[in-house]
Amino acid sequence: MSGFKEPGFADRQKAAAQARANILEKFRARPGADDPAVKAREVAWYRRAQQPFGLPLDSRADFTKTDWTHWSATLSGRREDFEALVEPLWRNADETPDRVPLCDWVKTREPRKVNMIARPVVGGYFLPLLQDPATWSRWRKFGSREAGPASGWAPLPLAAPAP
């Protein structure tokens, strides 16, 4: 008779639990989305994928959302990355033959609008202000309740900027 013993149910449960723990540990060891190296790789890819008039939103089409591009451009925290990704949007707005207010859905290979003209939902345009503590502090003070109602500005939120 051999020395091999068929594993029982408890042995199989223990082996499955160990396998789950090993898989979870493997994923925990990976860098998170907030890791600076991950952000740098993502922005570097965006810079390579960029077209003459913007960063494509999706690899299947040649259009972008301009506020999304601002979010993406702010990701690395480096001014040169921001300018490299946003400059084609400026060129798009400057060179378009479409005589409409600023459009937030534009083509990336030619300076033309797709749709969504003059919409007030482009909050991503202001994201760089939150990333720069000096700018945030200056505007926070200027628009704060301490400025008083005579300032003519609506009060800004008094929460500290995100790290």
In tens, the pLDDT along 76-130 reads 888 899 999 999 999 998 999 988 888 888 899 999 988 878 877 777 788 877 7
> What token pair was written down for 44?
């570097």
> Do 115 and 66 meet the contact criterion of CB atoms below 8 Å apart?
no
Instruction: Choose the most confident range, by mean pLDDT, from 22-36, 59-73, 140-154.
Output: 59-73
Type of residue found at 141: K
| 150-163 mean pLDDT | 62
Write down the pTM of the prediction: 0.64
- Residue 124 inside a domain? The answer is yes
Total number of domains in the chain: 1
- Residue 11 inside a domain? The answer is no
- Residue 78 inside a domain? The answer is yes
Which residue has 């972008």 as its token pair?
64
Domain of 129 in residue numbering reads as 36-138
The span from the CA of 44 to the CA of 129, in Å, is: 22
- Residue 31 inside a domain? The answer is no
The span from the CA of 126 to the CA of 115, in Å, is: 21
Closest by CA to 110, choosing from 98, 99, 125, is 98
| pLDDT recorded at residue 94 | 92
Q: Is the pLDDT of residue 162 over 80?
A: no
The span from the CA of 38 to the CA of 25, in Å, is: 19
DSSP state of 51: B
- Residue 110 inside a domain? The answer is yes
| pLDDT recorded at residue 138 | 77
The span from the CA of 69 to the CA of 119, in Å, is: 16
- Residue 76 inside a domain? The answer is yes
- Residue 117 inside a domain? The answer is yes
The span from the CA of 75 to the CA of 113, in Å, is: 25
- Residue 12 inside a domain? The answer is no
Residue 77, Ramachandran bin (φ over 0: left; ψ between -120 and 50: alpha; else beta):
left
